A = this chain, B = another copy of it.
Amino acid sequence: MGNNAIVGQSGGPTSVINSSLAGVLQACQMRGAEHVYGMLNGVEGLLNERYMELSDKLGSALEIELLKRTPSSFLGSCRYKLPDFYQNPEVYEKLFDILKKLDIGYFFYIGGNDSMDTICKLNDYAQQIGSNIKFMGVPKTIDNDLMLTDHTPGYGSAAKYISVVMKELIRDATVYGNNFVTIVEIMGRNAGWLTAAASLARGEDCEGVDMICLPEVPFNVDNFLVKVERMQKEKKSIVIAVSEGVRLPDGRYVCELSDDARFVDSFGHQNLTGTARYLSNVVAKNMDTRTRSVELSILQRCAGHLSSRTDITEAYQVGGAAAKAAFEGITGKMVALKRLSNDPYQCTTELVDISKVANFEKKVPMEWVNAYKTDMTAEFLAYARPLIQAELTPIYINGTTQHIIRK
């Protein structure tokens, strides 16, 4: 079996996915991997023999520090769905030929549900052909929707970003003292973890958001309007956090009621957008108030300047734990985070079967939503608050944050 390792990044970028890359790289180097390669644009790039030697570019401690502070995937990403083996065995043969040529013994893939599907399939194939290559999944997604892990690296930083900017948006929205409804659209197609994080804005120095609309709760436009009218009678500036993925009782996305263009990616995911704009127009037509819609858009997943140190550290740890397990001979697993306690927050890693993670989605539990379905409970706050703790100071050069990129 080869003594080299290869690592790829897949799916949507996060602020801390590169910290996991650093964790895999340094743990493999420490365990004596001769070469650690990075796939360029994930498995899709690897199939075209696109990869790089990581030690060349990421050899110094400063480069590792910059890597931890660089958002988006250093190696590039893909949304490539590996075909089933019986549909296209050539893809598997080609991939394993490349791995053999590079003398790979350890294969790491940093990603979400879809990426774990890739690891699962490659591991199954390896078992069939008697390959000794170890395949490990490293969790990553701002959506926090992976099963069997307390939370996912990437979520804490996105949640911190959302809570900080919601506080700033609330300050901005109160400034004129007039009737005003601000609707903020937050990512999360089916799971409302990110939208729920808007509840973290409330505190002694902030009124907090006035309503939270999760995709887990069927959305009724008329009821929404009644609630907003009622709130506006008691408070001039109303700020609402709404998930891009809220759906009508009949299953259609609310944003489908607007006339925006949408596209579908190769995993069949719709690009959802325009929910806040649509709802803000509904409010403007029906109420005597100013309205504004804000889409946090991709800023919530790439704001490396405002990441959670807890998140960055855990992202590094799951990378390292994956390398440790693989070098100990384990394969077909994903590293998960296991919380020991909320206060003090204590968390460790464990290994879970990749087949029980791939293609599943973890929703926000309904017990963590209040009776009116408009706010999160104290249990959610106790869960989420530790994940946004502490900061990793950005390295500013000449006024802007410094990154590291492939050249």
Pick the residue among B13, B41, B72, B206 that contacts A405 (CB under 8 A). Answer: B206
Instruction: Mark interface residues in A258-293 (1 if CB within 8 Å of B CB, else 0).
Output: 001101000000000000010001001000001010
A171 in contact (CB, < 8 A): yes
Pick the residue among B78, B203, B304, B400 that contacts A388 (CB under 8 A). Answer: B400
A262 CB, nearest partner CB in chain B, Å = 11
Look across to chain B and name the residue whose beta carbon is closest to the beta carbon of A76. Answer: B177
A160 CB, nearest partner CB in chain B, Å = 6
A295 in contact (CB, < 8 A): yes
Pick the residue among B160, B205, B281, B390 that contacts A402 (CB under 8 A). Answer: B205
Q: Which of A300-314 contact B (CB under 8 A)?
A: 301-306, 308
Look across to chain B and name the residue whose beta carbon is closest to the beta carbon of A163. Answer: B400
Known: A176-B78, A177-B41. A302 touches B399 (CB 8 A): no
A46 CB, nearest partner CB in chain B, Å = 13
Known: A77-B176, A263-B290, A297-B295. A205 touches B399 (CB 8 A): no
Pick the residue among B203, B304, B388 that contacts A168 (CB under 8 A). Answer: B304
A123 CB, nearest partner CB in chain B, Å = 25
List residues of chain B with CB within 8 A of the CB of A190. none
User: Please, how many angstroms separate the alpha-carbon atoms of A13 and B297 in the complex?
Assistant: 22
User: Please, how many angstroms separate the alpha-carbon atoms of A79 and B178 in the complex?
Assistant: 11
List residues of chain B with CB within 8 A of the CB of A171. 13, 70-72, 302, 304, 403, 405
Pick the residue among B72, B174, B304 that contacts A72 (CB under 8 A). Answer: B174
Known: A165-B303, A261-B284. A172 touches B399 (CB 8 A): no
Instruction: Mark interface residues in A81-122 (1 if CB within 8 Å of B CB, else 0).
Output: 000000000000000000000000000000000000000000
Q: Which of A178-197 contact B (CB under 8 A)?
A: none
Interface contact A298-B294, CB-CB below 8 Å: yes
List residues of chain B with CB within 8 A of the CB of A41. 176-177
Interface contact A175-B400, CB-CB below 8 Å: no
Interface contact A168-B302, CB-CB below 8 Å: yes
A401 in contact (CB, < 8 A): yes
User: Please, how many angstroms separate the alpha-carbon atoms of A40 and B77 in the complex?
Assistant: 50
A172 CB, nearest partner CB in chain B, Å = 4
- Chain A interfacial positions (CB closer than 8 Å to B): 13, 40-41, 45, 70-73, 76-79, 160, 163-165, 167-169, 171-172, 174-177, 200-201, 203, 205-206, 260-261, 263, 277, 281, 284, 290, 292, 294-295, 297-299, 301-306, 308, 385, 388-391, 393, 396-405
Known: A72-B175, A79-B176, A200-B399. 6 other contacts (CB 8 A): A13-B171, A76-B176, A168-B302, A171-B302, A171-B304, A200-B400
